[in-house]
Each structure stands twice: as structure tokens, then as C-alpha cells.
Structure 1
Amino acid sequence: MEARHAVEIEHEPDYEALHAGASLSANLAAGAFAGIMEHTIMYPVDAIKTRLQVLNPSPAALYDGMANAAAQMSAKEGFRSLWRGVSSVILGAGPAHAVYFATYEGAKSAFGADSATEHHPFAIAAAGGCATMASDALMNPFDVIKQRMQVHGSPYNSVLDCARQVYRAEGTSAFYVSYPATILMTIPFAAIQFAAYDSFSKIFNPKNEHDPLLHSMIGGIAGGLGAAATTPLDVVKTLLQTRGTSSDPRIRKCNGLWGAARVVYQLNGYRGFARGMTPRIVNMAPSTGICWASYEMAKRYFAPPKGEASV
């Protein structure tokens, strides 16, 4: 009996094998699936966050909070207004997150942080930073289009129409003027998220078991921490990405991170840098949890442990 039990233990699939040695194509596929799931499910909350972060909005777009914004958008513009621009996210999130997780796994391995039991928070954080720099280079133009379509009174009929009009009016630079602010925001966000997820996973899931609920809970905590810490830079990024829709000349003339930060302070003081923090956390915590749970599930499907068929 003991011998049979020993054999069962010896051949029990090691969940960590899903991470170490998984092929590039498996990481790409899992990352793409996770990215699309993360951004689409929580998209309405992201739309509300953008509305609350816009500085000097029109009187028709003044909201008292998340619930008030959702109610007004649905009543005045229709329920579909909460989903305007979602196709831009679907188009960009797949390839961007594929690169994101593939870069993370590669960097984590290169930095010697593949251990299932040892903590390597700084190496994991560095791997997360590398991942976000690569993915944001792909995602930034799609993010600009998304936010241009989310603002009140957006004049664009579709994602393609938005891309054409922004290019004609402001040139290619409009799609990347927010990239430095995005990088400065997403590198600490990714560092906090990956380090927290890896550390909490080792604490609460020491046996590396496949547990979607636990993955999502740990991912949500990690994402919420990162979201709260990086909200000020997200406000600056939103200003730069939506500057072309503003009637305020100070906003329209912003060309960089520090100029945008000065305008935020001039219009709202230090409180301006916390605009949209609540919906950002409400959005990022569950969406990050969904992302990690989806990623772990997809990795198990595309790269099952040795001796176990795809689930």
C-alpha cells in the first residue's frame, strides 16, 4: 500500500512544470488569451475611470462618482456608451499580452528566478519591468484610440475612423506622446504586480497547485496594490492621450510628462493626481485576477505537465 502511494506521489504532475520549460508559443498563446479576457470583461469600469480622470470636462460630463457616472452614461448616451472603443482593446490586447507574458517568462528564466520555492522579488520585479516595456510599445496606439472613444462627446464612429482622424489631425506622434508616461506608470505597476503575485503565491500556494480561485484572488490583490500606487501617472497618461478632445488650450498643447503633470496640478492641485483612483482599483483588481487565472489556465492547456493531456 505504501509502495503504491509512493508511486502515485512520484508520478503526480508538478504544476510548476507549467512554468519552467513551457514553449514560447505556449506562453504567447496563454498571454494573448489572458490579455483579451482581462481587458474586455472589466471594460465598462475602465470607461468610467477615463471619464472621471478627464480634466476640465463639459458640464454634461460632470460626475459625482462611479455609480453616478455609470447611471448618467447609460441614461444619456445609452448602455453601449460603456463599451465604446472595446474593439481597439480586443485588437491590441491579444498581441500585447502575448509579448508581455512571453517576455516575462523569458526574463524570469534569464534572471534565475524560476525556483518554485525560493523568493526572488527583485528579479521578478525586473522581469515584470522588461515585460511591460515590450508590450506597451505595441499597446500604446490602441490605448490612445480606446480613450479617445471613451470620452464624452467622442466624434469618432469606429476604431478605424478614430485612428484616421487622429493621424490626420495630430500625426503619428499622437499615438506615442503618452508612451514615456505609460512606461513610467506600468514599470512600477508591473514590478509591484509580479513581485506580489509571485510572493503571495509562494505563501498561500506553496504546493503550486492549480487553483483558479486562488490565482484570481492573489492576482487581484497584486493588481489592486499596483493600481493604487500608480494612479497619479495614470491621470497624466489619460490627459496626454485625450488632449485632442479637450477645449482647454493648456491641455491641447501638452507634449510631455512634466507639462501634463503641471496642468493637472494647475487645474486640480495635488488632489488631481488621485482622480479615478477608486474605479482604477475596482477595475484593475478583478481584471488582474481574471488575467492571472486565465493565464494559468491557458498555460495548463497549451503546456500541460509531462504525462498529462491538455485539459
Structure 2
Amino acid sequence: MRFGLSSLGLESPKIVIYEALPSNYGLGHNMLAGAFAGIAEHSVMYPVDLLKTRMQVLHPSTGGLYTGLTNAVSTIYRIEGWRTLWKGVSSVIVGAGPAHAVYFGTYELVKDMAGGNVDDGHHPLAAALSGASATIASDALMNPFDVIKQRMQVHGSVHKGLVQCARTLYRTEGLQAFYVSYPTTLCMTVPFTATQFVAYESISKVMNPKNEYDPFTHCMAGGLAGAFAAAITTPLDVVKTLLQTRGLATNEEVRSAKGLINAATIIKSQFGWGGFLRGMRPRIISTMPSTAICWTSYEMAKAYFKNLE
């Protein structure tokens, strides 16, 4: 069935028969839809992501210590100005488009190869496999941009822009600085993505058994799946933040962190088990709408491409 742009969630989406893009559309359309979704997701929720990073840093410089999410917002606004909440967003915009193009392109490709598109049934294993494969591929591209982003987000950061930060980081710490957190990132994002994709597919099947194009379903399923996955992977996110911001740390032990196990040991010895839950609230608060926006944008783009038939 054909439908106009007004059908993309603005008037009567439930009358639209929605399904995956046909095979003749190729990888390019899925990648383009993914790029659109990634830029939309990260741009809208960037300020909350910055708050999460600030609250996860173990030994912040003077002025970067916050008692909670509300205190962090008010302190940053009062002392540094509202523009600080967007510091480093250029890195995300530049990296998110290509990374999410690879992410969703790999997802659709592996899902189809694993038999996830055979019928209208529930295929959790195919969803988990495609999600894990997608994050391995996309994180290889996104990790350097994520390192640059967090270096610019930290309180007191002297970095003014994407290129300047990348050059300084390469000159002072070498190429390994861009990938020191990659193993930890995969340990976090592979279970995160697998969990999120299985949850998204499962919730969508319950809320939308007819597999119609329904922005409300995509939004709710994406948000709930993201919140659940974010909560259970927060400890690894804290470890990742430590590794990606170690060069700015004032604590010598943190500056010399070598990898996942060493970083986790430092967190445990200095802050106890509670240290692994630092930034959980802003992580969930940012991830829930982020994944909702991401999935809604992605499904909308796919629906738009089908309209061009």
C-alpha cells in the first residue's frame, strides 16, 4: 500500500501496512536511514550525555564535583553557561552519521542472513546476533569520536574543537588513546545492543502484532528497551569513561589505567561497589529517549523509502 508523508505519524499511521525494506533496496537505503537516526538521536540528547560523563569522572577538577543531576545542571549553567552543555557535540555529529549507517546496515544484513525476516514470527536469536554484529562494526568507527567527545565534555577541558582535540590527543598520547577503551566498549555495547534489540523486537511484537508502521509503538518499544539495557550495563560504562578520560585525571593511579580489569580494580578500591553505579540516572534518562528517537527515526526513514516505490 502506498502512503504519503502525512502518514509518517502525523495523521493515521495505523492504516499503513509497514514492513522491512524489500531486498531490492539494498544496503544503501538501510545505511542512510541509520545515519539519519544516529544524528537525530545524539544531537537531541547530547546535554544529558554530557551530564552523565561529568558525573562519572572519578576525580573531577575544582568546580566539576556535583551532588546530583539537578545540581550538575544548575552548576554548569551558572558557572560555565548553557553552551557548555553542547561542548563536543561536533564530534558526535561527525561520527554518528557514518557509525549508525554501518550499525543499521550491518543489523539488517545479519538479521536477514540469520533468518530474522523469514516470516512475521518472533526471532530473538536473530535479533541478538544482528545487534551484536552491528555494534562491533559501528564501534570500531565511532570509538575515536567518542573519546574526543568525552575529552571535550570533562570540566576544565582545554579542548576547543574536534580537530584540535584529536591532534593534541594523538601528539601527547599516541594512536592507542583512541582505542584503549575499545575492548571495554565492546564488552558493554555488545550485551547492551543484543539486549536492546531483543527487547525492542519482543516489545514490538506484543504492542504491534500486525507489524504496521506505528510511530508510537516504535517510540515506546525503543525507549523501554534502551532503558533496560542502559541500567544493566552502567558499570561497564563507568569503566569506559575512566579509560577515555584518563589523560585528564589528576589522580596518578587513574592516569595510568591500562585496561578493563585494571580500571575496574581502581574504581572498586577508591569508591567501592557503589562506584560502578556512578551516572546511572542520567545514563538511563539519556538512553531511554535516545533509543526512542533512534528507532522512531530509523523506522520513519524506512517507511519514507518505501513510499518512494
Q: Given the two structures, how large is their TM-score scaled by the length of structure 1? A: 0.92
Q: CA deviation digits over 1:101-144, x for unaligned, max 9?
A: 00000000111111452111122101100000000000000000
Moved more, 76-85 or 51-60: 51-60
Paired with 2:88 and 2:212, the residues of 1 have a C-alpha distance of: 37
Q: What residue in structure 2 maps to residue 132 of structure 1?
A: 135
Q: Which moved more, 1:169-178 or 1:197-206?
A: 197-206
Query: Is 2:17–2:213's contact at 8 Å kept on the other side of the alignment?
Result: no
* Deviation (angstroms), 1:210: 1.2
Cα distance in 2 between the residues matched to 1:13 and 1:19: 16
Partner residue in 1 for 2:55: 52
- Are the aligned partners of 2:102 and 2:138 in contact in 1 as well (CA < 8 Å)? yes
The answer to whether the 8 Å contact 1:31/1:102 transfers is: yes
Gaps of 5+ in 1: 1-11
Alignment partners' CA distance in 2, 1:220 and 1:170: 37
Q: Structure 2 matches for 1:220-259, cutoff 5 A?
A: 220-259=223-262
Aligned mate of 1:159, from 157, 162, 165: 162
Q: Match for residue 265 of structure 1? A: 268
Say whether 1:142 aligns with 2:145: yes
Task: Check the 8 A contact 2:16/2:213 in 1, yes or no.
Answer: no
Aligned match of 2:74: 71
Equivalent in the alignment of 2:205: 202
Of residues 118-127 and 172-181 in structure 1, the stretch that sits farther from structure 2 once superposed is 118-127
SS of 1:59's partner is: coil
CA distance in 2: counterparts of 1:148 and 1:206, whole angstroms: 44
- Answering whether residue 32 of structure 2 is matched by residue 29 of structure 1, we say yes
Asked whether the equivalents of residues 148 and 241 of structure 1 are also in contact (C-alpha less than 8 Å), the reply is: yes
Q: How many residues align?
A: 295
Q: RMSD over aligned Cα, in angstroms?
A: 1.3
Q: Deviation at 1:276?
A: 0.3
SS where residue 55 of structure 1 aligns? coil
Give the structure 2 partner of residue 103 of structure 1.
Answer: 106
Where 2:63 maps in the other structure, the secondary structure is helix
Q: Deviations over 1:208-257 (max 9, x none)?
A: 11111221111000000110010000000000000000011101101111
Q: Distance in 2 between matches of 1:168 and 1:218?
A: 43
* Aligned-residue offset at 1:17: 4.1
* Overall identity of the aligned pairs, in %: 59
Instruction: Give the letter aligned to residue 286 of structure 1.
Output: P
Tell me the equivalent position of 1:188: 191
Work out which of the residue numbers 70, 93, 97 in structure 2 matches 1:94: 97
- In 2: Cα distance, 1:45 partner to 1:152 partner: 14
The residue aligned with 1:43 is 46
Q: Which moved more, 1:155-164 or 1:82-91?
A: 155-164
Q: Counterparts of 2:301 and 2:284 in 1: how far apart (Å)? A: 25
2:297 corresponds to which of 285, 288, 294: 294
Q: Are the aligned partners of 2:268 and 2:275 in contact in 1 as well (CA < 8 Å)? A: yes
CA distance in 1, matches of 2:130, 2:251: 39
The runs of at least 4 aligned residues of structure 1 exceeding 6 Å deviation read: none
Kindly indicate whether the alpha-carbon contact (under 8 Å) linking 2:45 and 2:286 is maintained by their aligned counterparts in 1: yes
Residues 72 and 246 (structure 1 numbering): CA distance in 2 closer, same or farther, change over 3 Å? same
Give the TM-score normalised by the residue count of structure 2.
0.93
Given candidates 208, 217, 220, the residue that maps to 1:217 is 220
CA distance in 2, matches of 1:281, 1:238: 16
Quote how far apart the aligned CAs of 1:95 are. Answer: 0.2
Q: Larger Cα Rg: Structure 1 or Structure 2?
A: 1
Residues 185 and 234, structure 1, Cα contact 8 Å, conserved in 2: yes
In structure 2, distance between residues paired with 1:224 and 1:282:
8
Deviation, 1:196, is 0.6
Aligned partners of 1:20 and 1:114 also within 8 Å: no
- The alpha-carbon distance between structure 1 residues 126 and 234, as it changes in their structure 2 partners (threshold 3 A), is same
Shift of 1:18: 2.9
Letter in 2 for 1:74: Y
Structure 2 stretches of 5 or more lacking a match? 1-14
Task: Measure the CA separation in 2 of the matches of 1:300 and 1:89.
Answer: 25
Deviates more, 1:276-285 or 1:18-27: 18-27
- Residues 290 and 270 from structure 1, CA distance in 2 versus in 1: closer, same or farther, beyond 3 angstroms? same
Q: How far apart in 2 are the matches of 1:33 and 1:42?
A: 15
Please report how far the alpha carbon of residue 43 of structure 1 lies from its aligned counterpart in structure 2 after TM superposition: 0.2
